Structure 1
Amino acid sequence: MQWYLKVMKNYVGFQGRARRTEFWMFALFNVIISFVLGFLGGLIDVTVGTVLGYIYGLVVLLPSLAVGVRRLHDIGKSGWMILLGLIPFVGGIILLVFYCLDSEQGDNQYGPNPKAFDPVHNTFAK
């Protein structure tokens, strides 16, 4: 949950780098929250569930883009590569592969390696 809140607090931070853990934990919590909203919407009313889903989607749109761009920065790619997601089928697969790659070692043009210090667990990477 700390990773999710970290991304939500930095919702328009397109500079810097994001670790794989930060990106994937945010994605995991998005899926869980979307499922819960859909389930509750189905219990109450399908229209209410749809509206809740759209509202939640709008709330997490900028944080999702920001953490995706920071994740691309972490592997040394330009944030504009996120536009590959607009290419049907292939673009999403390419982004998925990029999001799964390990961080670039050391500092890069986008900032220091976030694995050097983990502020959530207050430890340094091995």
Structure 2
Amino acid sequence: MMSAVAFSVLPLKRYAEFRGRSTRTELIAFYLLVLTVTVLLGWGGTAISFHAQQWVSSGLALLLFCPSVALAVRRLHDSGRSGWWLLVALPFLVASAWAFFARPGPWAIQTHLEFPWWIDVPLGLTGAALAILLLLDDEPGPNRFGPNPRYGPAGEPA
């Protein structure tokens, strides 16, 4: 049985692997690790300056973008769906890019950008839909994306 730490760093070891399957435990452990690191680095960056905190969080987001996408694709594979279902998150990417480029300048302090309700509602619904897709139960046996990572070669729980 793998420890929670091993599950949380596994996506970093498989950072650009878009084939295969990943378990819900791996997904949850990874995002708990990311949340913990983000909070710790945010506190450290804020202690230095607000701009340092923005640079640290932006750098962390860029570093973890590929492992996060690869993990989400493998998680979708685990429930029998194509990785293209990740495009449900496209409104988030568009809204994030818009919020980033809508700033008056690179050093402008902007803590929150207000979106109108007609943008907030679809963003919330697509976020909920993606969360449901990522947290759905896996297919018990092998599927077209490979064997179930929760089971050993004999089909018994690992």
1-structure distance, mates of 2:125, 2:88 = 8
Aligned-partner residue type, residue 63 of structure 1: P
Please point out which of 52, 58, 68 is paired with 1:48.
Answer: 52
The 5 Å alignment of 1:90-109 reads 90-109=125-144
Cα deviation for residue 38 of structure 1 reads: 0.8
Q: Give structure 2 stretches of 5+ with no counterpart.
A: 92-122
The answer as to 2:110 corresponding to 1:75 is no
2-structure distance, mates of 1:125, 1:89 = 36
RMSD between superposed Cα atoms in Å: 1.3
CA shift digits 1:45-78 (9 cap, x unpaired): 1111111111111110000000000000000011
Aligned-partner residue type, residue 6 of structure 1: L
Cα deviation for residue 4 of structure 1 reads: 2.3
2:157 match: 125
CA shift digits 1:15-55 (9 cap, x unpaired): 00000000111011111111111111111111111111111
Q: Give structure 1 stretches of 5+ with no counterpart.
A: 118-123
2:14 match: 10
User: TM (normalized to structure 1)?
Assistant: 0.90
The answer as to 2:148 corresponding to 1:113 is yes
Q: Secondary structure at the match of 1:99?
A: helix
User: TM (normalized to structure 2)?
Assistant: 0.72
Q: Secondary structure at the match of 1:111?
A: coil
2-structure distance, mates of 1:100, 1:48 = 34
